Amino acid sequence: MAVSPEFLKAEREQPWRVELRSKMKNKERTALTRVHMNEVDARERILSNIEVNQGLNQVQAMAEAQRCLDCPNPTCITGCPVEINIPKFIKHIECGNFADAAKTLKETSTLPAVCGRVCPQEKQCESQCFYTQKMNAEPVAIGYLERFAADWEQNSGQMAIPEQAPANGIKVGAIGSGPAGLTFAGEMAKKGYDVTVFEALHEIGGVLKYGIPEFRLPNRIVDVEIDVLKKMGVKFETNFVVGKTANVEDLQEEGYKAFFAGSGAGLPRFMEIPGENYIGILSSNEYLTRVNLMNAANPTTDTPIISGKRVAVIGGGNTAMDSVRTAKRLGAERAMIIYRRGMDEMPARVEEIKHAQEEGIEFLTLTNPVEYLADSQGRVSQVRVQKMGLGEPDASGRRRPEVIEGSEYLIDVDTVVVSVGVSPNPIVPDSLPDLKMTRWHTIEVNDDNLQSSIPFLFAGGDIVRGGATVILAMGDGRKAAAAMDEYLQKNQ
Ligand code: FAD
Ligand code: SF4
């Protein structure tokens, strides 16, 4: 699906872009400093779920857009898994054509307001920007600008509904309503298919709703995008577990011709150390789902969560960071990350680590839990940890943690959130005995078209990749839609 250099060149040579480039010398552009994101002060934001990043205003966005050099070889695009035409949308912002900037984003990304908030740009587009690569300088703030344009469109009240081919009456199903399923649904609706999304939970959005907290990604942002899909005719069936409520064969009998499995990787992993079953120890999935979707932060609901005062979160990824920052907002006096490697090896986004530090989260790095202790009621009261050193890099390329003998000590805790990884959701695969799986329990697909061993079933996102990212899940949804369309054209 690579964008051809000829196409990019032709777009870059359009008169409005040539004129814009001529208005300012590259030297003047590179002399500008990168914009800072407007943020709510840490002391204020830990008291509520208010969104931490407040976005750029128009003046800031247009000034930042001037930094972009509109490069002849825009390497930034190669760093974007869905190949957004980055210089084109940024140059529209520079001119003040915000609607066109949003339209450019929508050409390849279904959820730009989401991606502008949660994509690891520092590892993707921004890492490939000319400034990073050739000048050893701060990259253009591509993510902030993406969010700006997408928010502008949402706030304008004029969300563009993508053009659609005439309805073809062919029924297809998406299993799961995370970013993979939503993107697939949007792409198939554009092609004229009759699309239904089946979602096990009562809310639509997958991890975007049940995992990532409001202070990072407000639900209203996701809901606006879901509304667009509804306006395009996409139907949603919530509280519908494919493989339990109905099987794929049942749905075939109802006329569905093909399916996309985007059922994610929401099965929590534990460390299997002594005491892990004590009361007060939960997985990050349970913790975040209860708070985000079940109103558990409210003590008067049917599903309250115990707001611990000394909360230890085990792990160093985005999920761990979201959990520990949630604990802080629920009133924890000590909210700690316990991570067996060092700060440099943490997989969480750099921005999330920075925000967590500002909010007073304690980072106990090079530290690993080995056992939990409980009070007489069976409630966790302490965690025994050991100190770690770092050895040579392992298969993941990160330095291997090594135990420092005799370094064990106890930390008082009343809540522990285990956030050491997830496995693919098993219900869909378990209900399809002929489906080939990998040894990591992910669905095996053909890399070229995401078709599984069952020809009418395509799959993508975390159910294929294990825990990955929003943008990769979206890229898969798009790729699978193109491949399924081709398959159905040939097999109708
Ligand atoms: P999901 O988003 O997991 O959606 C799958 C959906 O399928 C779920 O709603 C599930 O209920 C449903 N489902 C499962 N089985 C069935 C069934 N049998 N029938 C019907 N429905 C079913 N990525 C980033 O890029 N940036 C971040 O900042 C980031 N932060 C994260 C924070 C947290 C707390 C977590 C958990 C993940 C984070 N990720 C982040 C990862 C990212 O969210 C995932 O990679 C992405 O959501 C995967 O999308 P998906 O559509 O494959 O699956
Ligand atoms: Fe602009 Fe950087 Fe992309 Fe060049 S590489 S077009 S400067 S964002």
Task: Give the separation between CA 351 and CA 176, rounded to whole angstroms.
Answer: 28
Point out the least confidently predicted range of 238-247, 287-296, 482-491: 287-296
Apex CA 413: angle with CA 412 and CA 417, to 5°?
A: 145
121 and 15 within one domain = yes
Q: Choose one of 102, 127, 156: the last residue of a domain.
A: 156
318 in any annotated domain: yes
Q: Residue 388: CB within 6 Å of ligand 1?
A: no
Q: pLDDT value at position 299? A: 73
Q: Is residue 162 part of a domain?
A: no
Distance between Cα 432 and ligand 1 center (Å): 21
Residue 246 lies in a domain: yes
Residue with the larger pLDDT of the pair 12 and 159:
12
Is the minimum distance from the CB of 480 to ligand 1 under 6 angstroms? Answer: no
Q: What ligand 1 atom has the least distance to the C-alpha of 241?
A: 19
Q: Note whether 472 and 342 are same-domain residues.
A: no
79 lines ligand 2 (CB under 6 A): no
Residue 201 and residue 254 in one domain? yes
Residue 278 domain-assigned (yes or no) = yes
pLDDT computed for residue 400 by the predictor: 86
Residue in 12, 24, 66, 75 to alter for ligand 2 test, most ligand atoms within 8 A of Cβ:
75
Are residues 280 and 261 located together in one domain of the fold? no
Tokens of 102: 């949003």
Q: Would you say the CB of residue 425 lies under 6 angstroms from ligand 1?
A: yes
Range of the domain at 112: 5-38+46-156
pLDDT at 417: 97
Mean per-residue pLDDT for 295-322?
A: 86
Instruction: Say whether pLDDT at 308 is over 90.
Output: no
Please name which ligand lies nearest the alpha carbon of 71: 2
Helix (H) or strand (E) holding 334: strand 334-338
On whether residue 186 sits in a domain, the answer given is yes
Q: Are residues 122 and 206 in the same domain?
A: no
With a pLDDT cut of 70, the percent of the chain lying above it is 100
Residue 165: inside a domain, yes or no?
no
Position in ligand 2 atom list of the atom nearest CA 69: 7
399 pLDDT higher than 90: no
Q: Residue 1: is its pLDDT beyond 60?
A: no
Of 368, 387, 420, at which residue does a domain stop? 420
What does the pLDDT look like over 333-355, one tens digit per residue? 999 999 999 998 899 998 999 99
- 326 domain-assigned: yes
What is the pLDDT averaged over residues 274-285? 96
Determine whether the shortest distance from the Cβ of 140 to ligand 2 is under 6 A: yes
- Average pLDDT of the segment spanning 410-424: 95
80 and 109 co-located in one domain: yes
Residues 304 and 213 in one domain: no
Per-residue pLDDT tens over the stretch 433-454: 999 999 999 999 999 999 999 9
- At 2 the pLDDT is 61
* Boundary-marking domain end, from 420, 438, 471: 420
**From the CB of 142, is ligand 2 less than 6 Å away?**
yes
Using DSSP, state whether 197 is helix, strand or coil: strand
DSSP 231: H
Q: Establish if 12 belongs to a structural domain.
A: yes
pLDDT at residue number 365: 97
* pLDDT score recorded for residue 300: 78
pLDDT score at 392: 86
Which residue, 222, 229, 220, 194, is CA-closest to 206? 222
Position with higher pLDDT, 296 vs 262? 262
Confidence of residue 256 (pLDDT cuts 50, 70, 90): very high
Same domain, 119 and 189: no
Using CA positions, which residue lies closest to atom 5 of ligand 2? 129
**Number of domains the chain is built from:** 3
* 178 in contact with ligand 1, CB cutoff 6 A: yes
CATH code of the domain in which 346 resides = 3.50.50.60
- 64-112 tens-digit pLDDT: 999 999 999 999 999 998 899 999 999 999 999 999 999 999 888 889 9
How much is the mean pLDDT over the chain? 94
Q: Is the CB of 473 under 6 A from ligand 2?
A: no
Question: How many angstroms separate the CA atoms of 308 and 328, rounded?
Answer: 9
